[in-house]
Amino acid sequence: MKHIKNNMVPAVILVLGILSFKLSGVSGSYLAAEVYTRFIRNILFTLALILPITCGMGINFAIVVGAISAQMAMVLSVDFMLEGIPALLFVTGASVVFSVIFGSMVAALLNRARGKEMIVSIMIGQLSSVIYQFVFMVAYGMLFEPKNKEILLERGIGVRSMVDAKNISGVFKSILPFQFDGKTYTLFPLILIALFTLLLFYIQKTKFGVLARAVGTDMAVAGKLGIESNRVRSICIILSTVFAAMSQILFVADFGTINVYTGHLGLDTFAAAAILVGGASIRKVKMRNCFVGVILFHALFITSPMAGQNLFHNPSVGEYFRSFLAYGVIVIAIIMNLKTEQAKAV
C-alpha cells in the first residue's frame, strides 16, 4: 500500500501512457524507437536537476544556461570550420568552460535569492536566453566577423536560425550504428549517458555528495556545524549547468541541426516535468526517478496527439493535454511539497 502511495504519480502516468498508446494506434516498435531518440536527447537534462534538488534549491530552471553554453560552443565550432573529432573535442571543452563560468554566475544570483530559487532560476533562464539571442542576432556580423560567412543571414548581421551541425553529428553517427525498424540509430550516446550517470552516482557518494544532502536537509543546522552552504550550493548549480551543456550536445548531435534561437527553449519545463512524473519531489530525488520519468513522460508525449486525433478527430487536443500535464505536474509537486513543509515547520 505504502509502495503504491509513494509511487502514485508514476503509476497514474503509466496508466495514462498505456491508454494513450492504445488509443493512438501506433506500433510498439515505432514507440520504442521514438522513446529511444527522446531518451538520449533528454535524459541528461533531467539528471542535471538532481544536484540542485539534493542541496535544497528546488528545480533549477536555469539549466537553460547550460544549453546556451553548448549552443555557443557548437556555433563557434561551425564558425571555425572544425570537422570531426577536433570539432567534438572543441565543442565539449568550450561548453564545459562556458558552462562553468555561466554556472557560477547563476549560482551567485541564486545564493542571493534564498527561498525563491525556483522562480529566480526561471527569470535567469529567460534573461540569459534573450541576451544570448541578442549576441547571435545582433553582435555577430556587426561587432565581430565570423570566419565562416555561411552561417550569417543574407543581410550580413546575425546568425541563421538553423545551422548544420554535421561536424559533430557525423562523429556520433559513425560510432556503433545499429538498425531498428528500418532506420539507423547509434549506441554511442547511450555509452556517454552511462558514463555521466556513473559520474553523478559517484558524486553522490563523495564527501561533497554528503554535504550537499546535509545542506539540502537543513541549512540552519549546516551553518551551526560550520558547513559553507553557499559554496556547496554553488558547486551543485555549476555541475548542473555542465550536465545541461553536455545534454545539449547530445541533443544536437542526434538532431543534426542547431536551432540557434530556439534550441534551448522549453527544455527546462520538460526536464522538470519528467523528473516529477518519475516520482521525484522538489526536495527529494533519486536517480531512478529520472529514468522512469523520462521514459513515461515522453511515451505519453509522443502518443497523446495521435490519441487525441483518434478520439476527438483533433490532434491539438492531445497536445493541450500534454502541455497541461507538463505544467500541471509542476504545480501539483510544488503544492504538495510546500504543504508538507509548512506542516513540518509549525
Which residues are at the interface with another protein (CB under 8 A)? 109, 112-113, 115-116, 118-120, 122-124, 126-127, 130-131, 133-134, 137-138, 155, 157-158, 202-203, 205-211, 213-214, 217-218, 221-227, 269, 314, 316-317, 320-321, 323-324, 327-328, 330-331, 334-335, 338-339, 346
Nearest to another protein of 32, 284 (CB atom): 284
- Taking the complex as a whole, the smallest distance from the CB of residue 288 to another protein amounts, in Å, to 18
Nearest to another protein of 173, 231 (CB atom): 231
Answer for the pair 299, 31: CB distance below 8 angstroms, yes or no.
Answer: yes
- Taking the complex as a whole, the smallest distance from the CB of residue 122 to another protein amounts, in Å, to 7
As a whole number of angstroms, the distance between CA 67 and CA 264 comes to 6
22 in helix, strand or coil? helix
- Taking the complex as a whole, the smallest distance from the CB of residue 66 to another protein amounts, in Å, to 18
As a whole number of angstroms, the distance between CA 341 and CA 338 comes to 5
Nearest to another protein of 36, 208 (CB atom): 208
- Taking the complex as a whole, the smallest distance from the CB of residue 318 to another protein amounts, in Å, to 11
Q: Could you count the other beta carbons within 10 Å of the beta carbon of residue 88?
A: 20
Nearest to another protein of 175, 335 (CB atom): 335
Nearest to another protein of 278, 308 (CB atom): 308
- Taking the complex as a whole, the smallest distance from the CB of residue 190 to another protein amounts, in Å, to 25
- Taking the complex as a whole, the smallest distance from the CB of residue 10 to another protein amounts, in Å, to 19
Nearest to another protein of 187, 210 (CB atom): 210
- Taking the complex as a whole, the smallest distance from the CB of residue 77 to another protein amounts, in Å, to 24
Nearest to another protein of 212, 290 (CB atom): 212
Cell of 116: 525563491
Residue with cell 550536465: 243
Angle in degrees, CA 244, 167, 79, rounded to 5: 85
Strands 183-186 and 162-164: unpaired
Spell out the residues 6+ positions from residue 162 whose beta carbon is closer than 8 angstroms to its own. Answer: 257, 258, 259, 260
**In terms of C-beta density within 10 A (0-12 exposed, 13-18 middle, 19 or more buried), how is residue 110 classed?**
buried
- Taking the complex as a whole, the smallest distance from the CB of residue 186 to another protein amounts, in Å, to 31
Spell out the residues 6+ positions from residue 147 whose beta carbon is closer than 8 angstroms to its own. Answer: 79, 80, 81
Instruction: Tell me which H or E stretch contains 164.
Output: strand 162-164
Answer for the pair 201, 51: CB distance below 8 angstroms, yes or no.
Answer: no
- Taking the complex as a whole, the smallest distance from the CB of residue 307 to another protein amounts, in Å, to 14
Nearest to another protein of 183, 313 (CB atom): 313
Cell of 126: 529567460
Residue with cell 555557443: 72
Nearest to another protein of 33, 317 (CB atom): 317
Spell out the residues 6+ positions from residue 34 whose beta carbon is closer than 8 angstroms to its own. Answer: 298, 302
Spell out the residues 6+ positions from residue 107 whose beta carbon is closer than 8 angstroms to its own. Answer: 233, 234, 235, 236, 237, 238
